[in-house]
Amino acid sequence: MSLLDFARGPALQWAGIIFVLGMVWRTLGIFMLMRSSPLSANRDNHLFEHGVRTVWSRFVPAPVFEKKVSFQYVAGWIWHLGFLVVLLFYKVHVMFFEGLLGFGWPALPNSIVLAIAGVTLGVLLWLLGRRIFNPVLRYISTFNDYSSVIITTLPILTGLLTFTHFGIAYETLLAIHMLSIALLLVWFPFSKLFHVITLLPSRYVLGVKFWRRGVQA
């Protein structure tokens, strides 16, 4: 079995299984914990609607914080969206998903995907540098933070190298790219990348708590 066969065979398959089982396990483990309900009277009776409003409103910082944190919000949007666009709209990826799901969708031109991947990679590397050099981020960062950024960056980096046939044989580059994806899938449920499941519900929890007390959160 060649490295490429291993990467796109057992490595990706096992990574996928670990990803699915890990995500389900951690999600159920959290959401099946007990919940306490307040007994005091609410100020606001449209808590679901307002909780959802908080989920949306936290995509942008409140005006009073804009000067301090806007750049990190913007950087976050850019790389998250960039990652998704490259994952879902690069022609080869669309073909991969078509083979997996039985249906496909239009892809973006390679030149656009390449540019988006470049920007995404740049932002991720900048965020990694910021985590290293910013005193607050350096102080609060753990192995989970550094490794998660690096493991998220690797598929973009290796994908770009594969696309440009950089240096070594294409098959080897492709195998490395697929192994980096397998690593990401395995790491995902056990790391802070899991926030894709908890972040929006967490906003909702805060929103309900604050709106209940008559405060727009």
**Tokens for 217?**
């959160």
Position 198 contacts another protein (CB under 8 A): yes
Q: Check: CB of residue 81 under 8 Å from CB of residue 126.
A: no
The helix (run of H) or strand (run of E) holding residue 200 is helix 195-212
Q: Check: CB of residue 4 under 8 Å from CB of residue 174.
A: yes
Minimum Å gap between C-beta 37 and another protein is 10
Report the chain's terminal Cα–Cα distance, integer Å: 55
State the number of binding residues for another protein (CB under 8 A): 60
Q: Is residue 46 classed as helix, strand or coil in its secondary structure? A: coil
Position 192 contacts another protein (CB under 8 A): yes
138-157 footprint of another protein as x/- string (CB under 8 A): xxxxx--x------------
Give the span between the Cα atoms of 78 and 182, in whole angstroms.
23
Position 74 contacts another protein (CB under 8 A): no
Q: Which amino acid is at 6?
A: F
Contacts of 163 (CB under 8 A, 6+ apart): 110, 114, 117
Minimum Å gap between C-beta 111 and another protein is 32
Minimum Å gap between C-beta 143 and another protein is 9
Give the span between the Cα atoms of 154 and 133, in whole angstroms.
21
Give the span between the Cα atoms of 210 and 205, in whole angstroms.
9
Any idea which residue has 């580059």 for tokens? 173
Q: Which is nearer to another protein, 145 or 171 (CB)?
A: 145
**Contact range with another protein by CB under 8 A, out of 106-114, 160-168, 180-188, 198-206:** 198-206
Radius of gyration (C-alpha) of the chain in whole angstroms:
20
Which of 65, 126, 166, 170 binds another protein (CB under 8 A)? It is: 65
**Contact range with another protein by CB under 8 A, out of 12-20, 55-63, 105-113, 154-162:** 55-63
Q: Which is nearer to another protein, 27 or 172 (CB)?
A: 27
Which of 62, 74, 92, 100 binds another protein (CB under 8 A)? It is: 62
**Tokens for 28?**
């159920």
- Judged by CB under 8 A, the chain residues 16 through 35 that form the site for another protein are 25-26, 28-35
| Residue numbers at the binding site for another protein (CB under 8 A) | 25-26, 28-36, 38-41, 43, 54-55, 58-59, 61-62, 64-65, 68-69, 72-73, 76, 134-142, 145, 190, 192, 194-195, 197-199, 201-207, 209-210, 213-217
